[in-house]
Amino acid sequence: MTAAPPAVSAAPPAVNTAPSTLNPDVLRGLLRHQASTVTVVTAPGTPPVGFTATSFTSVSLSPPLVSFCLARTSSSWPTVAGAEHVAVHLLSQRQQALARTFATSGIDRFAEPTAWRPGPHGVPILDDTLAWLLCRVVDRVAAGDHALVLAEPLLAQHGEADAPLLYHQGGYTALVPAAPRAGAAT
């Protein structure tokens, strides 16, 4: 008489799927799993302002609208709150240092080595970014401790083809080509 094979469980191992109470730390931890493109938003002023943002998104193609968010406690907020125009710069994977510069408080973000020039409406345009959009601000909406800024792109320029800089799990990263699926044509 042969022994019966061991029973095979069809159920995967138990995973804790109970919802968590949503407090700021839980939400922050969950959102760290979302990869976001890294942008720098600039606005004219005396002095000009700029900040790193990962909240940039396309809103509408007709009419063309984009958005980004900014903490209303940010040192850049008073200038952005009154700005008629802003520029949004999409950073390439090679521009981590630029992203860090514009994420650092208490420094002159436009000093060397930052390369920039005054653009239309006096908006600072950063050199050598993946792409940039000059936008007219159309609305600002208070959203919790942030403001959602809606803007209409007026001018756009893209640079050399390169991969975008991403922010994921609390750090900068870049795209890695996905491995081809088994059986997929190459």
C-beta separation of 91 from 126 below 8 A: no
| Overall domain count for the chain | 1
Beta bridge partners of residue 61, listed in sequence order = 64
Q: Is residue 2 part of a domain?
A: no
Rounded Cα distance, 74 and 69, in Å: 11
Kindly state whether residue 17 falls inside one of the protein's structural domains: no
Token pair in block for residue 146: 């942030």
Q: What is the pLDDT of residue 9?
A: 47
Range of the domain at 63: 37-168
pLDDT at res. 184: 63
pTM for the predicted model, two decimal places = 0.82
Q: Is residue 44 domain-resident?
A: yes
pLDDT 10s digits, 45-95: 999 999 999 999 999 999 999 999 999 999 999 999 999 999 999 999 999
Asked, for residue 23, whether it belongs to a domain, the answer is no
Q: Which two tokens stand for residue 97?
A: 């240092």
| Contact of 153 with 144, CB cutoff 8 Å | no
Phi/psi at 35 (5° precision): -80, 135
- List, for the chain, all residue ranges whose pLDDT scores fall below the cut of 50: 5-9
- Domain assignment present for residue 120? The answer is yes
101 three-class SS: helix
Tell me whether residue 59 is in a domain: yes
Q: What is the pLDDT of residue 161?
A: 79
- Residue 139 falls within a domain, yes or no? yes
Pair type for strands 85-90 and 64-71: unpaired
Q: Would 5 be classed as within a structural domain?
A: no
In this structure, the number of other CB atoms found within 10 A of the CB of residue 152 comes to 18
Identify which of 140, 131, 123, 50 has the alpha carbon closest to the alpha carbon of residue 89: 131
Strand order in the sheet with 146-158: 49-53, 39-43, 85-90, 131-143, 146-158, 64-71, 57-61
CATH of the domain at 48: 2.30.110.10
> Cα separation of 79 and 49, whole Å?
7
